[in-house]
Structure 1
Amino acid sequence: MSAPTSSSFAEAFKGWPPPVLDPAGPFSNSVTTLAWVLMAGAVAIFLLVCVAMWVALYGSDALRAKLGGERVVKWFGLVIPAGVLLLLLVWGLTLVRGLTTIQGDELRMRVSGNLYWWRVSYLDAAGRELHADANELHIPVGRPVVVDMVSEDVIHSFWVPKLGGKMDMIPGRTNRLKLQADKPGSYGGQCAEFCGGAHSLMGFVVVAHEAADWQRWMDARLKPAPAGLSVEALRGRQLFNEVGCAACHRVAGTDAQGIAGPDLTHVGSRLSLGAGILPNTRATLIGWIADSQSIKPNNRMPAYRSLKADELNALASYMESLK
């Protein structure tokens, strides 16, 4: 797989923030249909209220008497609203029930919300983790995906407008939501529940592949970190352990097994850094390692301002090699 570039990042995150009423899958289509009906109903009610106000202000005495009569109050104040709300409730629940209904043959994933990034796990049918990642979800086209959503700190909200509905991630609770993409492409997502100072910088991307391409992608991700490294990358790997990166980050096949931060086993192939806010390039890697706090304030990664330029380059070279 080729290295990510600024153009691939721009393609993945074009049109940011994600378009809300542009569905690209069956589950988001249900949510969009419900949204349009509710907006149309709101417009109809607004127009009805405007007509009632006009009659109250400028209508004839006979019309105003009818408007304030017992029959109008009974039907338009109680019977019709109650009936409309009941119909909307039944129809709405029927329309979106597929968002959480589990059939058993879906691809399974788990996404954990953290301040301010996303821990991503690919699961087998029994719920065991097959592959760990961060801030990106890769899914096959045309296949429903069940996402188990949990939070490791505060309330977050998982939302990919073009592929599905919105669901809160609550500490101590597992919520489930289904996604599906009808065609290949990159779809932006965002935390939709205020979770702290860097909430607006907590994005992610869902990449939809054709089924065969997705299987090749998954097979490649199940391999350990590459063994053959350049001299600069070897120096970076040494620094990775010396400065304490391994205490927070995991790189499969190495002694780095930290879980406090994102899994970095394949960080070199990701589209973005910092949960969707930077393209994944050598320059942005160096900037993020040196002083992530100036890029995303209050994130949990400390700044490494004491590292020299050649050391930062070596660490970035090692990160780039992890594909």
Structure 2
Amino acid sequence: MSVGLLGLLDDVTALAKVAAASIDDVAGQAAKAGLKAAGAVIDDAAVTPNYVTGFTADRELPIVARIAWGSVRNKLLILLPAALALSLLAPWIITPLLALGGLYLCFEGAEKVYGALFPHAAHDLEHAGETPAEAGDPAALEAERVAGAIQTDFILSAEIMTIALAALPQLGFVEQAVALALVGLGITLLVYGAVALIVKADDLGLLLARGARSGIGRAAGRFILVAMPWVMQALSIIGTAAMIWVGGGIVLHGLASFGLAAPEHWIEDMAHASALALPALGGLVAELVTILGDGIFGLAIGALLIPVVGRLVLPAVRRLRKRFGRT
């Protein structure tokens, strides 16, 4: 009896070790998949604070919380089942969807660059075919703003989940589901936790600047107030650059999988030649050249998409929304 019990305990221990190793593997794969989605993640963190602009301080965190909850619903209730179904039933479609997501990232990044260089033209292009909205009560404006943020989050979340799914081909179905859920929840907590800190940083700085008991505390508050606009600007620039780089790399890889490998090979050849020219920094130089090449390609593709999306796609989407809203 005792021997049998000891054998059973040994089996349980072995199973626990296997399970722990599996959990570690899934967590590690989820972390790697999350890093693959860096461009969309940084953009999500850079975009979301704009949705609380114009509201009173007491409504900022509730708005962020509503958007975060909408993001969780997007990822876990809609995109996770869809991603798993595609992986199980139509894995061939993942690469085309990833390429489309890469095109979207290239367009978004290029549009931000265009908006920084030509703000008036970018505004006219973005709002082509759009009728001015009438001012409403604060509750209606908040609901509209939250709904718009969740729609934007859905697009970015779809790209994040697709990138993550493409980075998890070697896992089984259950492990893949757990890893994708970890990616979705982890990224949501990371992004909206950072957003909450960002939107309340000014309030913290003002509180310290006015009410801190020590000179160091008041100086820290003034520093936060001065630094936050620069932090937001830096975050926006980093997010834009990351979108263009990641999007360009995704599109290049997609083209190669469709038989158009020349652009990707050109960048690889340039990276290899740069590494040979500077052997002391070979790996670093090759990586930088690859990033630069992907970014230039992504910016060029995005620039070509700006008039197409602004003049054709966005007006068509708005017309469909109006028609759907009336029925």
- TM-score, normalised to structure 2, is 0.25
Structure with the bigger RCO (C-alpha within 8 Å, sep 6+) is 2
Where is the strand percentage greater, Structure 1 or Structure 2?
Answer: 1
Where is the helix percentage greater, Structure 1 or Structure 2?
Answer: 2
- TM-score, normalised to structure 1, is 0.25
| Structure of higher CA gyration radius | 1
